[in-house]
Amino acid sequence: MTDERPRFREARSPRLSARDLADYMVASEQRRRTIVRAARFRPVAQIIQHRLARQAIGRHLRGELSLDEVADMARALREEETESPFRRQMLDFNAGYLERFVRVAPGLALPQAEPLPPGGVIRHVMGGCTITLELACRFERTQPRTNRLQVGGAALRYARGRPLDPAAAAFQSALMFGALRSEAAEGVAAETALCLTIDAHAGIAHPAPSDAASRYRNMLAACQSIAERWQAITPPGRVGDPDGTAAGAALIGTDALQAEG
């Protein structure tokens, strides 16, 4: 008897994470296809997540945990007993994330600003796509000359064994800047220096670059291109299309990346 259980959860409307969009902006043509296809068709199977590590590092950035306490949490994850192979792997991955961060964190340069709780997930609509941003913390400080409140935040990126591509980090921080700028109340302004993507492997905080507004417009154009082709993207393993890209994702070209800033 054939197993008819679905292998994917389909996103009917265009949606990507901030990480996916940043990676898309610097990716090769083939990699772009893979990113968009994976965003529309997410596997039902369990996926290792680093939520435990991200939560602990967020607490450290907000001054709630010392690095010694983060290291203690990593040891606790290593020592936790479980009969589930999947949970064992998840615990060890999160422990490794924390252990690496503890080693590199002393060299992490953070802005002089008040760290605040991150709040909920930001769902930012741009170009017909919903982009989700998860922050580890928010920042705010008052501009001395104008007495204006400046805001920002920190997002975490981690890949075991390799540093984050600075080009992708710049796009992700620029996206944060644009999203926070759009939601800012009157009298409040997003500040590029406070919008950080932190590479937890290398211990580097990447602020939004000086051309963040231009990069944001390029991402807006990319989202418009993705949204226009979303319904034509086929799932992985479709008969006659083993790559799952030919019917739709192949149409997503470099035109969005060439948008003028």
For residue 58, give every residue at least 6 positions away whose Cβ sits within 8 Å of its Cβ, in sequence order, or none. 118, 136, 137, 156
Mean pLDDT of the region 134-146 = 94
3-state secondary structure of 155: strand
Range with lowest mean pLDDT among 61-70, 148-157, 228-237, 246-255: 246-255
Q: How far apart are CA 241 and CA 131, in angstroms?
A: 28
Q: How far lies 86's CA from each of 52, 90, 97, 178, 200, in Å? A: 15, 6, 17, 37, 23
**Could you tell me the pTM of the whole model?**
0.86
Please give the pLDDT value at position 239.
43
What's the pLDDT tens digit per position in 51-60? 999 999 999 9
DSSP E strand stretches across the chain: 8-10, 15-17, 41-43, 114-116, 122-126, 129-133, 137-143, 148-157, 188-199, 204-207
Mean pLDDT, residues 230-251: 59
| Residue 5 predicted with pLDDT over 70 | no
